[in-house]
Each structure stands twice: as C-alpha cells, then as structure tokens.
Amino acid sequence: MIPYQSTIAYKIGVLFALLFMAALPKGMAQQDSQYTQYMYNTVTVNPAYAGSRGHISTALLYRSQWVGLDGAPTTQTFNLHSPIGYRGVGLGLSIVNDQIGPTSETYFDVDFSYTVYTSTEGRLSFGLKASAHLLDVRFSELNQYTTDASLQNDIENKFSPNIGAGVYYHNERFYAGLSVPRILETRHFDETSLSTAKEQMNFYLITGYVWDLNDNTKFKPALLTKLVTGAPLQVDVSANFMFSEKFILGAAYRWDAAFSGMVGFNISEKFLIGLAYDREVTELGEAIYNSGSFEAILRYDFISTKGNLKSPRFF
C-alpha cells in the first residue's frame, strides 16, 4: 500500500508543480472573497482540505462588510465536504455568492482531494477545484454619465468556467496549505469596453499550530497570506484560545487594513457557531461612515460515534 501511495503522490506532485508554475501572476487584479474566520472555511480557498476532517462536514458563512455604506460587499458561503472510500479520496461542494453594489457573482465549486500518509499522524493532501462562475451586472441601477453602448444593457448569468489547485498538510497539532483557487484569467467584458474586469489568480498560504497551555486551555496562532498582482499583499495574523473544549476567544490583525475580534462556541462536538467583527484602520474606515464588518459562521460535523474525535478539532 505504501509504494502504491508513493507512486500516486509523485505523479500528483508533478501535476501540481506544473499547475502552480502556470499560475504565476501576470496582470491587474480582482480579488477573491475576504474572510476573517478563514480557519473554519478552509475548503473554500484550498480544495486539498476536502475530507481532511475525517467525516462529513458542512458550514454556512455570512459576511457583511462596511455596514452602513451603501452598496458595500456582502458574501454568503455554503460548503460540504467528506472523505470518500478507503484510499484517501475526499470530495467537496462549495457555493459562494458575492454582492457589491449592482454586481452579483456566484461560484459553484466541486473539490477533489487525494491524501497520503507521511507518518503516523501526518497527512499530505493534493486538491483540484472545478468552478462554474455566474456574473450579474445591473447597469440599470446606476446613475450613468456615459453613452457607451456596452453599459446600457444589464448582464445576466454570464457563465465562465475555472479550475484551481491546492496542497495541504496536517497532523494533530500543525497545518499548512498553499493554493490557487482560480487559475484561469477570465475577462468579463470586451477589451475595448470602458468597463473591464478580469479574474486574477489569488495565491493563498495558510498555516497554524495548536498548543496545550494547560488541561483546559488551547492556544492556536494562525496565518493567512494572500497574493494577487495589482493589489496589496494581504497578511492576516490571528490568535485564538479555546477554553474547556467549548469557548473560543480570539483576535486578528489584517496588515494595514483592520483589527478583528472573534468569539466561538462548540454547542456540542458536532456543532460550532462563530462570530467576528472587523474595524477598519484604512482611510476608508476613517473618511467614510461605516460600522465595521460582521461575519457569522455555523459548522456542523456529522460524527457517527462519540469516539471518532478525542476532542473538537481546532482547525
């Protein structure tokens, strides 16, 4: 079994090296959705995470950014993923809806992962993502000061496909992942149009570690770095504490952008609820009225027997 997995891992590793080389950034950017509680929503940005929790896991996330600002972004996310069979295969489904002013974007993602054992506790996973993207732009809702014909008709359910890839490693305490959720650079409008939008590759690096401070307290620092050409480097640093396997309290800093507070509660070993609040430190937060950004997540794990987990997973 080990030689078989090693051969498969080598072939998949070569494939992923080629995909990431092809995904080197080249142009101007449109960024993916932003999350504060990314540590509970990993499968959305890294397909290799699919199935890594060892059972069926599902999550709902809602984010409202810059509350009080007309047309500010809102995001709704649903994901479901699970291991399949006995050879390290995982499958997942994600739906992400973004709304910004008169623009709506919906992604339907299917995730595939393959996991190999690197040690007694270590797991290395390779993932692929297939996406269908639908775009709506309601130009009719805008106050227009141009007669450009391309801006006179609304865009409804414009379809574009995409693919993504990721690598994810974890053991009982540590995790790290590298991913590009969308590799194809899709231009949504004609190049000669006054209004041009182009999907750019967003590179994600995530990592974290869990320490037992005492019998009742766990401490987990985590990092998310997002790189996309044409936009500032995003670095999110967070620190969460879990008390008595139930309560989670944490804080985060998005480099040169926002401070965040997070709270969570494990209602049971299956059910987690999490809340986050961001406060901008940019000129947007200073100059334009808004009440910060709010985020809520519900996650449910379908654990068949109580003995499946020693304690609730912190990532």
68 falls within a domain: yes
Q: Give the pLDDT confidence score for residue 200 in this predicted structure.
A: 77
C-alpha–C-alpha distance, residues 73 and 34, integer Å: 10
Q: Tens digits of per-residue pLDDT, 40-78?
A: 889 999 999 999 998 999 999 999 988 887 788 899 999
| 276 part of a folded domain | yes
Specify the pLDDT at position 151. Answer: 56
The pLDDT of residue 239: 96
| Beta pairing partners, 295 | 63, 276
Q: What is the pLDDT of residue 190?
A: 52
Q: What range does the domain containing 59 cover?
A: 36-140+155-187+198-301
> What pLDDT is stored for residue 70 in this prediction?
79
Query: Looking at the domain assignment, is residue 159 inside a domain?
Result: yes
Number of structural domains found in the chain: 1
Q: Mean pLDDT per 10-residue run, the chain (315 residues)?
A: 48 45 41 84 94 94 88 92 88 94 91 94 95 84 56 74 96 95 75 56 94 95 90 91 95 92 94 94 66 93 65 70
29 inside domain: no
Q: Taking a C-beta distance cutoff of 8 angstroms, is the pair 292, 278 a contact?
A: yes
Assigned domain for 22 exists: no
The pTM of the full predicted model, rounded to 2 decimals, is: 0.82
pLDDT of res. 305: 59
What is the reported pLDDT for 226?
93
Please report whether residue 146 resides in a domain.
Answer: no
User: Could you tell me if residue 209 is inside a domain?
Assistant: yes
Query: Does residue 116 sit within a domain?
Result: yes
CATH of the domain at 133: 2.40.160.40
Do residues 167 and 189 make contact, with C-beta atoms less than 8 angstroms apart? Answer: no
List, for residues 233-261, the tens digit of each pLDDT value. Answer: 899 999 999 999 999 999 999 998 899 99
pLDDT of amino acid 231: 78
